[in-house]
Structure 1
Amino acid sequence: MKTILICDDDVHIRGLVKGLLSKEGFKILAADNGAAAFELLQKEMCDLAIVDVMMPIMDGYLLTSKIRKLYDIPVILLTAKSQIEDKEKGFESGTDDYLIKPFEPKELIFRVNALLRRYGNSNEANVNLGSLYINKKRYEVKINNKTFILPLKEFELLSFLAAHPNQVFTRSHLIEKLWGLEFEGDDRTVDVHIKRLRERFSDIADDFSIKTIRGVGYSLEAENA
């Protein structure tokens, strides 16, 4: 049974989400603020977290950032805000998906199941490209034998580009492939994740790099491809 952590200071939202997901067969842990949710994570394994943005004590952005540093689980942010700046801040903190309140119950269930499916997919072949080795079963990236654990979307993006070296992909193609047709964000989401990958690896890997192809999109260029 998969365990899902719900963190929202609105008792009605917590009750709604708990009821929906319990009926789907999930075990639910619930907290009314980010600090309490983080304590629960330290005590019990979770497979996914649903986190509200605006909360007392510790907001959703900070909680998501702390989860990213210590736990390898997907995160869905719930928010009443729809401005692109808020979405960008959410993705920069490490969230995997974004859902605007009020939301349709079926959409929440769809997004939870979709994330868990993508996160749990361990049947794809690993990638070995020069100094870069990607273990898709363990969600690990190794460069020169140093291991990195990335947020899910960064891992999926790097894995996809590395599996198709020296090929150019448009932002819309990457959105469709990795976020799905139902994704309501825009192309800047890809830019944010590319920027984070470059910041992680530009100084430690010299045989591959993610290039911007002006007016088109991105390509992972590798010497040994």
Structure 2
Amino acid sequence: MKEKDRKLLILDDNPEILDMVTESLSIVGFSHLKRAASKKEALELLEKKAFDLAILDIMLPDGSGFEVLREIRKTSNMPVLFLSAISDIEKQYQGFELGADDYIVKPFRPKELELRILSILKRSYPEQDELVRLSACQIDFESAAILKDGEEISLTAKEYSLLKVLYDNKNKIVTFDQLLSKVWGDNYLGYENTLMAHIRKVRQKIEANPSKPTHLITVKGLGYQLRVD
């Protein structure tokens, strides 16, 4: 996948900045851009959709970009770039300590933003493997989608994370606790039923017959296994 086909989330409470960033990135060829103006909006988008990179402001009406990054890091290692008017070097250090990949101080040149994003994406997403082929579909981790019966079925952020953990451990048993910890973070107690609900949704997308799965198997009392030839 080309860098400019990646899915980007842009978070800023200033509508003028949102418009400028979106327009400048669209002009140079970025085609999948989603916008958020608050912490709440950003977290809702991150819950529903898998992104390849997030551009975060720090000062928000209902929290901070640091809080958004903390939530991202509970389930994802996707790259994050801070775009903020705060030039305090201590704040920049704080962003890097939380797992940010870069930090740009406003005002900024659109070309600098484009080049920084391209650099991060090239580092974070080297050439990937081909599609993962199952009997009834193909998993495209690059696009966070399932290719099935001539259709492209999008994966939610949680579905993507579950499948990625299972695929990284393909043909091995991944325990319930391991999956919960990887996808929901350390405070995963109480999410057991949510995990089962997401597994059902993933099966509906990847299996020919979800009620009789041949790839995403439940190992009774232990966890799940993704069987890949």
* TM-score, length-scaled by structure 1: 0.54
Instruction: Find runs of 4+ consecutive structure 1 residues off by over 6 angstroms.
Output: 146-149
Secondary structure of the residue aligned to 2:87 is coil
**Residue 115 of structure 2 corresponds to which residue in structure 1?**
110
Q: Measure the CA separation in 2 of the matches of 1:102 and 1:118.
A: 25
Matches within 5 A, 1:33-72: 33-72=38-77
Q: How far 1:44 sits from its partner (Å)?
A: 1.2
The whole-number CA distance in structure 1 between the counterparts of 2:30 and 2:57 is 22
Judge conservation of contact 1:62–1:93 (CA < 8 Å) in 2: no
Task: Give the equivalent residue in structure 2 for 1:188.
Answer: none
Equivalent residues in 2 for 1:68-83 (5 A)? 68-83=73-88
1:20 counterpart residue number: 24
Kindly indicate whether residue 91 of structure 2 is the aligned counterpart of residue 86 of structure 1. yes
Please give the alpha-carbon distance, in whole angstroms, between the structure 2 residues aligned to 1:56 and 1:93.
21
Q: Answer yes or no: is 1:10 the counterpart of 2:20.
A: no
Which amino acid in 1 is paired with 2:62?
I
Among residues 102, 109, 122, which one is paired with 1:97 in the alignment? 102
TM-score, structure 2 length as denominator? 0.53
Matches within 5 A, 1:156-171: none
Unmatched 5+ residue regions in structure 1? 124-137, 141-145, 150-225
Per the TM alignment, residue 93 of structure 1 is displaced from its structure 2 partner at its CA by: 1.8
Deviates more, 1:40-49 or 1:6-15: 40-49
Deviation of 1:75 after TM superposition, in Å, equals 0.4
Q: Distance in 2 between matches of 1:88 and 1:114?
A: 20
1:103-182 residue pairs with structure 2 within 5 A? 103-122=108-127
Q: Output the CA distance in 2 between the equivalents of 1:5 and 1:92.
A: 21
Q: Distance in 1 between matches of 2:61 and 2:74?
A: 21
Deviations 1:79-98 (A, max 9, x none): 11222211111112211100
Q: Is the 8 A contact 1:34 1:57 kept in 2?
A: yes
Q: Share of identical aligned residues, percent?
A: 38
Unaligned runs of 5+ in 2: 129-163, 169-177, 183-229
Q: What does residue 169 of structure 1 align with?
A: none
Name the larger-Rg structure: 2
- State the Cα deviation string for residues 105-135 of structure 1 (Å, max 9, x = none): 1000001111111111147xxxxxxxxxxxx
What CA distance in whole angstroms lies between the structure 2 residues aligned with 1:92 and 1:36? 24
* CA RMSD after TM alignment: 2.7
What letter corresponds to residue 17 of structure 1 in structure 2? Answer: V
For residue 60 of structure 2, what is the amino acid of its counterpart? M
> Equivalent residue of 2:60, what SS?
coil
SS in 2 for 1:94: coil
AA of the residue aligned to 1:72: N
Secondary structure of residue in 1 paired with 2:103: strand
